[in-house]
Amino acid sequence: MLRTEFSKEDVARELDPDSKRVVELWNSQSPRPIQEVPLDEARNSGLLTADITGPSRPLTAIADVTVPASDGFNIPIRIYRPTLDPTPVIVYAHGGGWTLLSIDSCDVFLREMALEVGCAVVSVGYRLAPENPYPTPFNDCWDVLMWVKAGNLGFVPEKIAVSGDSAGGNLAAALSIKSRDMGDGLINFQLLLYPACGTDLDTPSMQELGPDPRFRLSKGAMSYFWSNYLGGDSDSSDPYAVPHAATSYTSVAPTLVVIAGFDPLKDDGKRYAEKLAKDGVDTELLVATTLPHGFVFTLGAVPEARRVVGIIFEKLRTALNLSAPQTLGT
């Protein structure tokens, strides 16, 4: 049975006013559809400014290192540690349609995660499509996961979680399916933030919200991203590329799926949570009722996003059996 929690009662179903200002600002600064923007320009849009993301909080240790990939490439990662003692580890994959963004884009959020959950976070700078389509981004994330498992942080974690936002949520979901298939019980929990798990672009939320330019993830934009990632094969049946394609989710790690009320991908994430729960996976769905896609990167501008992120971190602490640390910074 799927457990569903709504972050806020919203009878009128209105977009949070602070989020409304942010998405309208982003749309004014970059009004063209994503798929029409030259790749170099899209990768350097500068939309995630400090006033939007909030300040960077200091940690005990932050390190940028590389992990050797199975094909010889050196995968950049960033390690966030609130303490030098052994802790649970979260392996995190950033979003951006497998095409945009980097470990820098989620830096502020992951600092908060490490501090507020009380665990080490390893952010994966996987290679981007279309230059590096599937399976390269997935393999990069898997190689980093294996690196963490092998004790290369200086300790062998007692618990490992995977997480990611949007396209990164896809990668985290795929890691969990492969871990299940390997039978190693490696992953103890997965946190999927408004994930892109399926290629169905005719969901009700896509039909309703996709045409609104403020939300940016139109049917055309998602077709572009999926084409970049899959190399044009939008009908892929490989569950490591398209997690919705799996025939079974039995024994996948316990899961928290977070979706946003004003996100064209809302129904994609909801349907994925329903599939997990149907196959007996301990699954919770958290609906950020009044927020848009990408809200975890708006902690400096949207108080409601900060509040919901606090709920997410509390659930992560519970899942990883960690006590509450300091209060989420303001």
d(CA 18, CA 25): 11
Catalytic residue from among 94, 143, 267, 293: 293
Whether 323 is a known active-site residue: answer no
Active site residue 218: no
Q: Could you confirm whether 236 is annotated as catalytic?
A: no
Contact 193, 296 (CB under 8 A): yes
Instruction: Specify the amino acid at residue 176.
Output: S
Q: Which of 7, 105, 163, 166 is catalytic?
A: 166
Which entry of 107, 263, 267, 268 is annotated as an active-site residue? Answer: 263
Residue with tokens 């994609």: 268
Catalytic residues: 166, 263, 293
